[in-house]
């Protein structure tokens, strides 16, 4: 694993605050695709998850993946920063069916043998890894008809730039469509989630199906 990458993300992790114990609806687990609390679509974007095998690339503190597991999925969350695994295990390690590992996304996928029905990444490794490297590996580990869904800032946004400058792989909706179709995905849908306030930055949400 690239220790420089892990160190860079460890520095970012040191600035991360734990998620609130409950959301605005009083729920103790939930999935948030956006950078704003209590905002945007929920896990239904993924389709039914009960009984599905889920992989999260860049799972951070594990809260989003844990929510899917409470709905009946089994989940593996990987993150390049070792402290993220420790935090996620401490909070969610007792939940049956969830597993957290320290791994870089490309290295994990290169070594993986299992198939996943759902792959997600929320401001995670998909945003920080060259798609021509990552997408063939994701396609290779996702079952036929399985879904890949990820979110990140819209291209051109200047906020939230953790780690080294130039790490982000920002793409326009047309670029994502062409990249994903080129790597064996279909049904590519890219939406821009409006921010809660007019002057703030929205969120790009990308959905694709393994063809
Ligand atoms: C902006 S944080 C988002 C974390 C989490 N998904 C969330 O929504 O809170 C990005 C996460 O992706 C991880 N990450 C970045 N590049 C990665 C890579 N190539 N492989 C694995 N994890 C990576 C970072 O360590 C970090 O925890």
Cβ burial, residue 170 (10 Å; 0-12/13-18/19+): middle
Please report the pLDDT score of residue 163 as a whole number.
47
Residue 50 CA to ligand 1 center (angstroms) comes to: 24
Integer distance in angstroms from the first to the last C-alpha of the chain?
30
Measured from the Cβ of residue 26, the count of other Cβ atoms closer than 10 Å reads 6
pLDDT tens by residue, the chain, 211 residues: 568 999 999 999 999 999 999 999 999 999 999 999 999 999 999 999 999 999 999 999 999 999 999 999 999 999 999 999 999 999 999 999 999 999 999 999 999 999 999 999 999 999 999 999 999 999 999 999 999 999 999 998 865 555 444 589 999 999 999 999 999 999 999 999 999 998 899 999 999 999 9
Side-chain half-sphere CA neighbours of 172 within 13 A: 2
CATH number of the domain that residue 143 is part of: 3.40.50.150
Q: Considering the domain boundaries, does residue 87 fall inside one?
A: yes
Q: Considering the domain boundaries, does residue 23 fall inside one?
A: no
Q: Is 122 in the pocket of ligand 1 (CB under 6 A)?
A: yes
Q: Considering the domain boundaries, does residue 24 fall inside one?
A: no
Is the CB of residue 78 less than 8 Å from the CB of residue 141?
no
Q: Considering the domain boundaries, does residue 136 fall inside one?
A: yes
Q: How many residues does the chain have?
A: 211
- For helices 82-92 and 63-70, the axis angle rounded to 10 degrees is 40
Q: DSSP letter for 166, please.
A: T
Q: Is 150 in the pocket of ligand 1 (CB under 6 A)?
A: no
Testing ligand 1's pocket by substitution, the residue of 13, 18, 80 carrying the most ligand atoms inside 8 A of its CB is: 80
Q: For residue 121, give the ligand 1 atom closest to its CA.
A: 6
Q: Considering the domain boundaries, does residue 22 fall inside one?
A: no
Q: For residue 160, give the ligand 1 atom closest to its CA.
A: 1
> What one-character-per-residue DSSP string does 80-108 give?
SSHHHHHHHHHHHTTSTTEEEEE--HHHH
Looking only at Cα atoms, what is the longest distance across the chain? 45
Q: Considering the domain boundaries, does residue 106 fall inside one?
A: yes
Q: Considering the domain boundaries, does residue 172 fall inside one?
A: yes
Q: Considering the domain boundaries, does residue 49 fall inside one?
A: yes
Please report the pLDDT score of residue 164 as a whole number.
47
Please report the pLDDT score of residue 108 as a whole number.
98
Testing ligand 1's pocket by substitution, the residue of 75, 125, 129, 159 carrying the most ligand atoms inside 8 A of its CB is: 125
Measured from the Cβ of residue 27, the count of other Cβ atoms closer than 10 Å reads 10
Name the domain count of the chain.
1
Strand order across the beta sheet in which 53-57 lies: 98-102, 74-79, 53-57, 116-122, 142-152, 203-210, 185-193
Inter-CA distances, 31 with 34, 57, 62, 71, 107, Å:
9, 15, 10, 11, 26
Please report the pLDDT score of residue 109 as a whole number.
98
Q: Name the residue range of residue 183's domain.
A: 3-14+30-210
């Amino acid at each position: 694993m690239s220790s420089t990458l892990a160190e860079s993300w460890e520095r970012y992790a040191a600035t991360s605050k734990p998620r609130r114990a409950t959301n605005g609806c009083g729920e103790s687990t939930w999935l948030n695709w956006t950078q704003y609390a209590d905002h945007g679509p929920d896990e239904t974007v993924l389709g039914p998850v009960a009984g599905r095998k889920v992989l999260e690339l860049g799972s951070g503190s594990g809260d989003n993946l844990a929510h899917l597991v409470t709905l009946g999925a089994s989940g593996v969350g990987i993150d390049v920063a070792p402290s993220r695994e420790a935090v996620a295990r401490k909070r969610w390690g007792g939940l049956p069916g969830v597993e957290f590992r320290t791994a870089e996304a490309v290295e994990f996928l290169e070594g993986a043998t299992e198939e996943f029905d759902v792959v997600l990444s929320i401001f995670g490794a998909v945003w920080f890894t060259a798609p021509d490297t990552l997408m063939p590996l994701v396609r290779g580990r996702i079952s036929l008809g399985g879904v890949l869904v990820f979110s990140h800032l819209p291209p051109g946004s200047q906020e939230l730039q953790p780690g080294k400058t130039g790490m982000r792989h920002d793409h326009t909706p047309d670029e994502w469509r062409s990249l994903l179709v080129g790597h064996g995905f279909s049904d590519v849908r890219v939406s821009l989630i409006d921010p809660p306030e007019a002057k703030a930055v929205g969120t790009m949400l990308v959905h694709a199906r393994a063809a």
